[in-house]
Amino acid sequence: MVQAVGMVRQQVSGDLYAEVQSVYAWQMRRVDALDVEGFAATFTDDGVVVHADGHRQAGREEMVAGMRARLPRYKDVAVRHWFGHLLIEAGGAGEDTVRVSYYTLVTQVDGEGKVSFQPTFTVEDVLVRVDGRLLTRSRVIHRDVPGRPGAAAVL
């Protein structure tokens, strides 16, 4: 389910860029707060996530169940997701469909303040406007591996 779309052909408006940044800020604050329902609500009802290991989750119900199963590993750490180098392309339907490719870094901080870094990933999302707000319709996560540019070179 790779959503490669080539090079960005046209710069998006500053308003759309800021809106996409706000969508991710809200979405990642939900996941970092371990609010699995709130996180799932940032996806369309039929949203799909394809994880770096190939595991696929379709629909909010599957996402919530999968996240709940992983909650115990976050019991004693504060998790933060950091996104950067966003490439944003509005789809053919104007700003109702938006493709985004970005890098992500995840940190975990333990009770003593020690920070650990998780592997980095390149992520490809398709966002769609539903009732005036952007929701994630699909997300494909690629683990960064030396010597394999993967999705890092595309949007």
CB atoms within 10 A of CB 40: 25
Rounded to an integer, what is the distance from CA 61 to the centroid of its chain? 17
Per-residue pLDDT tens digits for 58-69 = 999 988 998 888
Length of the chain: 155
pLDDT band at 148 (very low <50, low <70, confident <90, very high): low
- Of 21, 149, 143, nearest to 29 by C-alpha is 21
Per-residue pLDDT tens digits for 122-138 = 999 999 999 999 999 99
Distance CA 109, CA 115 (A): 4
pLDDT band at 104 (very low <50, low <70, confident <90, very high): very high
